[in-house]
């Protein structure tokens, strides 16, 4: 996926290119609105259809309607009159839950529902919008994102470290690359894991058919190396509370790895966890699970612990955060339910 925005338009009526894709040679004919939904995160079919209606969806240089069928080799572009998010880093006075701060870095506890950086459909209200309001001259990472050393998904809560200086950015990025940082997550996974602990070692890359999903390539033929160490915290009948420690940091790593071993995260809609994957077929059980979904309307994943060496002082820093209330409530309900299964 390309986000081509290297040049600002010289005229006001010139369009900005937001997305550009070239369909694979083996692409079966597929409506362009469906095709784009597989590539653009947080896009809805209605939004794409409206963009096509407005003349913003182009194939091979010409605007097309949403029912155009994309074929192998087609160049599909989405163009808008407003610039991509890199030019829209508007400072916004959004409160930050700062766990630690000094002249070199800060550690933030991100709530579920907050997007880390602006992107399609999320041009405001992000962590970056908050950071550029509260802090001046944050260094940019290789993707031009101010302060960001790593990221967590929109609906994952928990700890992030933010760099205030170039030196800190470089030092922390190397720690993450060298796998010397500590990152532990707590998750609720579907099913009763056979082993009390274990390691999932499988390359992760984009799913060949659904580009919004990551998938595991156990033979290592695609993707990048990914290693997750897991440990059972508590068995709760048809779900399990698990600690996941990251050795690598791939996109959706825990979500993809846990699905790969047959234990999709609870209410993880993108990976099928919003379905009732384990348990009985009784109406009361279905109602119980649906009530749990309402209490926790997101994937059950929290970045609980973060550790690293301070880039300047050399001190070993380690931060821990409380499991948020929505997850706590869900765990409590499963804990009560599991008592009646014994």
Which are the catalytic amino acids? 153
Report how far residue 15's alpha carbon sits from residue 144's, in angstroms, rounded to the nearest whole number: 22
Write out the two tokens for 198: 């274990």
Q: Does an H or E element contain 283, and which? A: helix 283-295
Among 300, 308, 289, 341, which residue's Cα sits nearest to residue 324?
300
Q: To 10 degrees, what angle do helices 283-295 and 325-339 make?
A: 160
CB-based burial label for 197 (10 Å; 0-12, 13-18, 19+):
exposed
Give the chain's radius of gyration (CA, Å).
Answer: 22
Bridge partners, 157 (sequence order): 302
Distance between CA atoms of residues 164 and 166, nearest Å: 7
Residue in this structure with the two tokens 């009530």, named with its chain if needed? 291
Beta-bridge partners for 215: 205
At residue 76, the 3 state secondary structure works out as: strand
Token look-up 């653009």 returns 40
């Amino acid at each position: 996926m390309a986000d081509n925005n290297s040049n600002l338009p010289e005229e006001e009526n010139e369009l900005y290119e937001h997305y550009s894709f070239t369909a694979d040679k083996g692409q079966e004919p597929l409506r362009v609105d469906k095709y784009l939904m597989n590539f653009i995160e947080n896009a809805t079919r209605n939004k794409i259809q409206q963009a096509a209606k407005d003349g913003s969806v182009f194939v091979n240089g010409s605007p097309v309607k949403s029912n155009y069928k994309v074929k192998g080799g087609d160049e599909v572009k989405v163009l808008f009159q407003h610039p991509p998010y890199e030019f829209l880093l508007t400072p916004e006075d959004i409160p930050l839950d700062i766990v630690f701060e000094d002249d070199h870095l800060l550690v933030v506890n991100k709530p579920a529902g907050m997007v880390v950086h602006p992107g399609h459909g999320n041009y405001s209200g992000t962590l970056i919008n908050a950071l550029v309001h509260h802090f001046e001259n944050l260094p940019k990472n290789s993707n031009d994102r101010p302060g960001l050393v790593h990221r967590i998904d929109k609906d994952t809560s928990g700890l992030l470290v933010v760099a205030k200086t170039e030196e800190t950015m470089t030092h922390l990025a190397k720690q993450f690359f060298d796998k010397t940082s500590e990152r532990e997550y707590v998750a609720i996974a579907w099913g009763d894991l056979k082993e009390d602990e274990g390691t999932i070692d499988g390359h992760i890359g984009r799913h060949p058919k659904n580009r919004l999903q990551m998938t595991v390539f156990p033979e290592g033929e695609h993707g990048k190396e990914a290693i997750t160490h897991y440990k059972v915290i508590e068995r709760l009948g048809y779900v399990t509370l698990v600690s996941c420690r990251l050795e690598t940091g791939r996109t959706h790593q825990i979500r993809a790895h846990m699905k790969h071993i047959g234990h999709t995260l609870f209410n993880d809609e993108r990976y099928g966890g919003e379905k009732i994957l384990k348990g009985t077929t009784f109406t009361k059980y279905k109602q119980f699970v649906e009530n749990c979904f309402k209490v926790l309307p997101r994937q059950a994943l929290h970045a609980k612990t973060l550790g690293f060496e301070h880039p300047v002082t050399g001190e070993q820093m380690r931060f821990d955060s409380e499991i948020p209330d929505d997850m706590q409530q869900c765990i409590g309900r499963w804990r009560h339910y599991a008592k009646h299964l014994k």
